Chains A and B, each alone.
Chain A
Amino acid sequence: MSKQAKVIEIEEVAIRFSGDSGDGMQLTGTLFSDTSAIYGNDVSTFPDYPAEIRAPQGTVGGVSGFQVHFGHTRINTPGDYCDVLVAMNPAALKANFRWVKPDGIIIFDADQFDEKNIEKAGYNGDPFEIEDVSGIQVISAPISTLTKESLKDVGLDPKSILRCKNMFALGIVSWLFDRSLEHAIKFFNTKFAKKPLLVTANTKVLYDGYYYAETIEAFGSTYKVKPADIEKGIYRNINGNSALAWGLMAAAEKAGLQLFCGSYPITPATAILEELAVRKDLKVKTYQAEDEIAGICTAIGASFAGSLAVTTTSGPGLALKGEAIGLAVMTELPLVIVDVQRGGPSTGLPTKTEQSDLMQALFGRNGESPVVVIATSTPSNCFDYAYMACKIAVEHMTPVILLSDGFLANGTEPWKIPDLNDYPDIKVPRVAADTPNWQSYARDPETLARTWAIPGTHGLEHRLGSLEKMNLTGDVSYVPENHELMTQLRDQKVQKVAKDIPPLEIIGDEDADLLVIGWGGTYGHLVSALTEVRREGKKVALVQFNYINPLPLNTKEVLSKFKKHLVCEINLGQFANYLRMQFPEYQYRKFNKVMGLPFTVKDLKEVIIKNLED
């Protein structure tokens, strides 16, 4: 009989599952995260894969991790540091030890900590002597041996048996946090419907891991994280890339347009193209082009032909698309350019995150070449901003650059499935056949958008192109005054989008001295830091920008309410420079990190407090 472990109630927990690429850590993490979400916790997750597809086994380069942060309160980030690290081998410990909280728990597969693996991980001695584990509860579990023992009579081959060891680990952690095993078992039954042996094996190992944890008395206590107070409704998990792809499809459906995506695979944006490629059932046309330039040019061709056209890419690809974005500016066609930012310059850090491309999105083209720039800020709101990017592109007849980043792209969170009726209509500025006196560059007086006459429409035959066009007629024109007029019109057209975007909202204390300013994917970390600072009784406010060009109409009004302005971003200060261009009357303090990683709430908290005092 095991003695009843003490149950401790806590607000939130972060668990990092880590092991070799082949150890199934992504699945383990996902099952735990789904179980927690179904239980009613708020959840945020982040996978951390190696860049190499199959890095040498047992090395630090081959470590794959998955962090789950769940809580009784609102969870805005996957958590900087983890309360529990599951390390399936020494390399996993080596790669992740720095992220374990000083009073955390490490559960490791003792069987894998042999001399050979320890050396492969780059340790020259006992890892638990080399790393400072004082204060950390270290649980040594012979996971491999126990998995083999558990499945010795099931009738599986030895390789398949060892592949089940991740479920033993999941069993241990499930006991520790009082999680039901029901969801995982349901998953096995669906996933392995045609391989009943695997259902039996995985289920057995999972239970054995659970009972092992209960029996060994190594844990002084178990933890209970009560459900969060979450809005009622039907939920699902979603990551940023899927949400973004779905948002594009939702907009196409609402607008009654065919969605066309011309794209070239590039990390970390590829999954958007993949997600769209599956959706032939929603009549999405995906065109995997021969390069980034062909990706956007096919999209421009499709836009000319009347599709809702999109191209998806990351920083280096955006650089290649620059000239063609100018073509879309000149031809004033609707186009959404999705840039999932990553560490740069050049190939940089393809699998890591960075707010790298703000300046490139705003200004990275020849000539006066204004486009709308929008940034997403949580995995699930990638859906909303993708929808809005399409709406603006179509209604204002303009290219829109939609910035996401590697952190949002792969991060997941529970998403209350929205009612599409709540999304605004998209008015397509089509022209009827044979409209008398129609002119290709005549504009709507309100938005300055021209109209969209598509091939196949009788009586509206016209030519678009990269050369400067005469106002109204659209004929090629070198008239000096006309070029100036058209340059102004293209700029004003983009600025008029400001009327259609929501005002900035101040989060926190409107009467604070310090305004923390962020944009895009740093929202979760900034709002968490803000909450923690305010919990200490200090006054501080936050604004997070999603609309970058044009800026919300109340931007100046908001900035003017505060004495101090602190711009936090994952680059060397691109947004701060942009604000300085627009509102030079304020002094912008900056906090910047460029490590290929999201901010940590800990760093942000420190810098906010420091700036409150200075």
Chain B
Amino acid sequence: MDTQILNTEDFKSDQMVRWCAGCGDHAILSSVLKTLPQLGYKHEDIVFVSGIGCSSRFPYYVNTYGFHGIHGRAMAVASGVKTSNPNLSVWIICGDGDGLAIGGNHFLHLVRRNIDVNLIMFNNRIYGLTKGQYSPTSKLGSVTKTSPYGTIERPFKPGGITIGANGTYFARSIDSMPKVTTELLIESARHKGTSITEVLQNCVIYNDRIFADITDRDNRDDRIILLKHGEPMIFGKNQDKGLIMRNNRLAVVQLGQDGITEKDLLVHDAHCEFIGTHQLLADMDYPDYPVAIGVIRSFEGPKPYDERMEDQIVEVCEKSKIHSVHDLMYSGSTWEVK
């Protein structure tokens, strides 16, 4: 690790940031810039990879190595980078369309392989760069340019997909909560394996206030729950509401009512292998439930793909008699013409 101490300014690139004024992307960039100096990686050992979309301009704004790919393929490019050189800290930036529509297959397989990369999904539930078409996370009935009468498609939930695909890490933040975002990103970098961080992000032009129900300051604390590993699931402006399990479902309860106390509430166990509760927590949505923010799942179980690859190479090299192409060419059946 570098002995030199880096700060946020060190990671800003010289490029002008071209997102719309008021776009949630600015806040996420700022959270990332605050995260990077805390990772213990040198500049040159960090790589940002993106696909296509508004968010995918991101690598140009960070002074690290960066790769702006093609639509939907950031996950595959980044998998190649990390597998090629596991010493790098590799970050994927994608949107909901890039990551879950055109890149949906790569997303699933990234999670399945558990390659040690960190993915930040900017979820604004709309296609911004192509100017306002519905995305795979747009709510059923969303009116957009390509769904003038409302969408007739059910949306994907990034958390449900990640955890359902046996992912080892899923966290969620909101663009307007930059401190939380930074904390979660540091957490995601520490996780060994694929970490998926969904950031609910406001598109001020094509989908403004899509998350307003849960992000407006007046109601926010009643409509989100900040999950922390090992702590009871309490939320609300007055910290007087909680979550319990009832009939195999989560239920919102009022502390003090029906004799319910803090002891009755669920305690968040982000580290367990069992996906059931994580799936339920990731799925919660307003108005039935508070939206879960924080690390929902962080299971340190299976070794990441890239590490296994290195291990296997070492193992096979030790056993094999072939150490060069020359050895290989002379192995097996050969004969001499004299």
Contacts and interface: CB of A to CB of B under 8 A. Distances in A.
B60 interface: yes
Interface stretch (A160-168, A207-215, A286-294): A286-294
A305 B115 CA distance: 16
Interface string A272-287: 0000000111110101
Interface stretch (A197-205, A233-241, A584-592): A233-241
A34 B333 contact: yes
Given A249-B325, A475-B15, A297 B73 contact: yes
Interface string A221-247: 000000000111111110000000010
Given A280-B312, A458-B43, A461-B44, A298 B76 contact: yes
B64 A235 contact: no
Contacts of B79: 287, 294, 298, 301
Interface residues of B, number: 61
Given A298-B80, A455-B81, A280 B317 contact: yes
A417 B65 contact: no
A282 B322 contact: yes
A307 B315 CA distance: 21
A40 B337 CA distance: 7
Contacts of B52: 466
A454 B44 CA distance: 9
Given A246-B329, A323-B70, A283 B80 contact: no
Contact of A304 (B42, B77, B312): B77
A306 interface: yes
- Which of B67, B68, B87, B334 has its CB near the most chain A CB atoms (within 10 A)? B67
Given A234-B336, A327-B70, A420-B326, A305 B84 contact: yes
Given A465-B69, A466-B68, A466-B69, A262 B333 contact: no
Contact of A253 (B15, B69, B320, B324): B324
A301 B335 contact: no
A303 B47 CA distance: 13
Nearest to A383: B329
Nearest to B72: A293
B337 A294 contact: no
Given A236-B334, A237-B333, A246 B66 contact: no
Contacts of B75: 294
Interface string B32-76: 000000000011111101001000000110011111111001011
A282 B73 contact: no
A301 B325 contact: no
Given A260-B80, A306-B84, A456-B88, A294 B73 contact: yes
Chain A contact residues, majority secondary structure = mixed
A299 interface: yes
A324 B73 contact: yes
B325 A282 contact: yes
B77 A301 contact: yes
Contacts of A466: 52, 68-70
Contacts of B43: 458, 461
B68 A464 contact: yes
A231 B332 CA distance: 21
A459 interface: yes
A302 B98 CA distance: 21
Contacts of B313: 280, 283, 285
A289 B323 CA distance: 26
Contacts of B319: 281
Contacts of B333: 34, 236-237
B67 A463 contact: yes
A463 B63 CA distance: 9
B36 to A, nearest CB: 12
Nearest to A260: B84
A258 B84 contact: yes
A461 B69 contact: no
Nearest to A433: B44
- Which of B46, B76, B316 has its CB near the most chain A CB atoms (within 10 A)? B76
A45 B82 CA distance: 41
A417 B73 contact: no
Interface residues of A, number: 69
B328 interface: yes
B87 A233 contact: no
A249 B328 contact: yes
Contacts of B315: 280
Interface in A310-340: 323-324, 326-327, 331
A492 interface: no
B149 interface: no
A93 interface: no
B234 interface: no
Contact of A456 (B44, B69, B108, B336): B44
B83 interface: yes
A417 B80 contact: no
Interface string A119-132: 00000000000000
Contacts of B78: 301
B67 A283 contact: no
A476 interface: yes
A467 B309 contact: no
Contact of B322 (A281, A304, A307): A281
Nearest to A190: B333
A106 interface: no
Nearest to A323: B70
A457 B44 contact: yes
A206 interface: no
A246 B312 CA distance: 20
Given A298-B76, A305-B85, A232 B65 contact: no
B278 to A, nearest CB: 24
B81 A302 contact: yes
B130 to A, nearest CB: 15
Contacts of A303: 80
A38 B60 contact: no
A54 interface: no
B70 to A, nearest CB: 5
B81 A301 contact: yes
B320 A281 contact: yes
B239 interface: no
Contacts of B326: 420
A246 B334 CA distance: 16
B49 to A, nearest CB: 7
Contacts of B263: none
A454 B47 CA distance: 10
A297 B76 contact: yes
A526 interface: no
A462 interface: yes
Nearest to A249: B325
Given A285-B83, A294-B73, 16 more contacts: A233-B336, A236-B332, A260-B80, A280-B316, A280-B320, A282-B328, A287-B80, A298-B80, A301-B76, A304-B80, A324-B73, A417-B334, A461-B44, A461-B64, A463-B67, A465-B66
7 contacts: A279-B322, A304-B47, A305-B81, A455-B46, A455-B88, A456-B87, A459-B44
Interface of B: 13, 15, 42-47, 49, 52, 59-60, 63-70, 73, 75-85, 87-88, 105-106, 108-109, 309, 312-313, 315-317, 319-320, 322-326, 328-330, 332-338
The 5 closest A-B pairs by CB, nearest first: A301-B80, A465-B68, A298-B80, A281-B320, A297-B76
